[in-house]
Amino acid sequence: MTLPNYAFFRGKIVPYSEAKVGVMTHALNYGTAIFGGVRGYWNEAEEELFIFRPHDHFQRLLNSARMMLMDIPFTREQLTELSIELLQKEGHRQDVYMRPMAYFADEIIGVKLHDLKTEVTIFSVPFDKYVSNDTGAHVTFSSWRRVDDNMIPARAKVAGAYVNTAFVKTDAVRAGFDEALVLGQDGHISEGSAENIFMVRNGALITPPVTDNILEGITRASILELAEKEVGIPVVQRSIDRTEVYIADEMFMTGTAAQVTAITKVDHRPVGDGQMGPVTAKLRKLYDDAVRGRLPKYRDWNYPVFEKMVVK
Ligand code: PMP
């Protein structure tokens, strides 16, 4: 993967090679970091890079920080401005993935959350697809269970909790699948390894509620809004049983990285007729138009990077 040229690190933008931490760093030893994943989309016609819903992403980061007793000395608006400055300096003219992170920076021994120093860093890299087979993914049910909210906050993006994700993803890929569906402790489907999940059944779009140990996805929120307002399909947030997916008409996963990935097979069983369904196809198109700034009604989701070029 191409390395970034710059990073926001210890309060300023520095060459990426200078953004280094010591091996005793608390977050490296105990997983005590929180992070975000934000995409920037290049719009060729406007020659502009649009960050997708940065305020919502940064609000979630601040919420994660709150749960972890981290002090982030920036507002979501300031974090957006910092990101714009960083992306201007990188000068990307292509789709990018941006990673804001807050971590406990103390170089000490001791597992805890209190009385520690928080540092914030942001970097970005060019980025294309995350799930390569995003028009017809074959998924399995993971033998792993999703991290429960009473173990590590499921609605926070805590670095340490992503060991759970890593087990899920590696076992699925090594078994020949594109992705996996992860059950919670109670046996209901929580989400994918790093995606929220949706199914279409009997004319309704259904997704697990925020109380089923999911990460409260920004893509999920965008899809719920687009489905209701633009596709006109009823949306329902309720728990999903394992065997419901075997008789679902359509399924897809959503995430900043995965975008809208159609699921056409679960454990060798076709979903619906085994092809991407019409609701999924419509939502994929709407989402792609929305993120690239092509839907005037949703332009407030798109933050231009180069419009307010700061010459420094
Ligand atoms: N669940 C998990 C565990 C994730 O890591 C992600 C990716 N951030 C998502 C769901 C999707 O969230 P979003 O749409 O905000 O990227």
Q: How far apart are CA 57 and CA 216, in angstroms?
A: 10
Q: Is 213 exposed, middle or buried (0-12, 13-18, 19+ CB in 10 A)?
A: buried
Q: What residues form DSSP beta bridges with 60?
A: none
pLDDT for res 128: 85
Find the residues whose C-beta lies inside 6 A of ligand 1: 37, 165, 191, 194-196, 215, 217-220, 254-256
Q: Closest Cα to atom 2, ligand 1: which residue?
A: 194
Helices (H), the chain: 26-30, 54-67, 76-90, 162-174, 218-226, 278-291
Ligand 1 centroid – CA 1 distance (Å): 21
The model's pLDDT over 156-171, given as tens digits with 9 standing for 90+, comes to 999 999 999 999 999 9
Q: pLDDT value at position 154?
A: 96
User: Is the pLDDT assigned to residue 88 strictly greater than 90?
Assistant: yes
Residue with tokens 């087990």: 167
CA distances from 297 to 56, 110, 293, 305 (A): 17, 50, 9, 19
Percent of the chain scoring above 90 in pLDDT: 96
CA distance 266 to 127: 27
**Ligand 1 centre and the CA of 122: distance in Å?**
18
- Atom 10, ligand 1: residue with shortest CA distance: 195
Q: Which of 256, 287, 291 best tests ligand 1's pocket when mutated (most atoms within 8 Å of CB)?
A: 256
Mean of per-residue pLDDT scores for the chain: 96
Catalytic one among 157, 229, 265, 285? Answer: 157
Q: Which residues of 245-277 are buried (b: 16+ CB within 10 A; e: fewer)?
A: beebbbbbbbbbebbbbbbbbbeeeebbeeebb
**pLDDT tens digits along 115-132:** 999 999 999 999 988 888
pTM of the model: 0.97
Q: Which atom of ligand 1 is nearest to the CA of 161?
A: 3
User: Over the Cα atoms of the chain, what is R_g?
Assistant: 20
- Walk me through the domains of the chain, giving residue ranges and CATH numbers: 6-126 (3.30.470.10), 137-296 (3.20.10.10)
| 146 in Cβ contact with 164 (< 8 Å) | yes
Two tokens, residue 54 = 């940065």
Q: Give per-residue pLDDT as tens, 204-250.
A: 999 999 999 999 999 999 999 999 999 999 999 999 999 999 999 99
Candidate of 215, 225, 254 to mutate for ligand 1, largest count of ligand atoms within 8 Å of Cβ: 215
Which residue out of 196, 223, 283, 301 has the highest number of ligand 1 atoms within 8 Å of its CB and is therefore the one to mutate? 196
Residue 1: predicted pLDDT: 81
Q: Ligand 1 centroid vs 73 CA: distance in angstroms?
A: 24
The verdict on whether 12 is a catalytic residue reads no
Ligand 1 centroid – CA 217 distance (Å): 5
Alpha-carbon distance of 145 to 271, in angstroms, equals: 22
